[in-house]
Structure 1
Amino acid sequence: MLAVLVRRGADFAAAEDAVQEALLEAVRRWPDEPPRDPKGWLVTVAWRRFLDAARADSARRRREDAVEEEPGPGPVPDTDDSLRLYFLCAHPSLTPSSAVALTLRAVGGLTTRQIAAAYLVPEATMAQRISRAKRTVSGVRLDRPGDVATVLRVLYLVFNEGYSGDVDLAAEAIRLTRQLAARIDHPEVSGLLALMLLHHARRAGRTAPDGSLVPLAEQDRTRWDTAAIAEGVAVLQAALARDRLGEFQAQAAIAALHADAPTAAETDWVQIVEWYDELAALTDNPVVRLNRAVAVGEADGPRAGLAALAALDGSLPRHTAARAYLHERAGELPTAAGLYARAAREAVTTAERDHLVRQAARLNTLLREGG
Structure 2
Amino acid sequence: MHEAQAVPSVDSTIMLRVLRTLAQHPGLTRAEIAAGVGASRPTVSTALRLLEDRGFLEQRIVPGSATERRTGRPPMRVFLAGSAASSVGLEITRTELGAGMFDISGRLLAHARLPVRGGENGEALLDDAAALVRELLAQNAGSTAYVLGVGVAVAAPIDHDGHLVDDVSLTHWHGVDLAGGLEERLRLPVTIENDANAAALAEHRFGAGRSCADLLYLRLSPGVGAGLILDNRLYRGASGIAGELGHVTVEPAGALCSCGGRGCLETVASPLVLEDELRGVKGGAWATLGEHGDRHVRRLLADAGLAVGTAIAAAVNLLNPARVIVGGQLADGGPVLFDAIDAGLARDAISPAMARARVVPGALGAQAPVLGAATALISRELEALVTPVAVA
TM-score range, shorter chain: under 0.3
Kindly indicate which of the two structures has a greater share of residues assigned to helix: 1
* Greater share of strand: 2
| Structure of larger gyration radius | 1
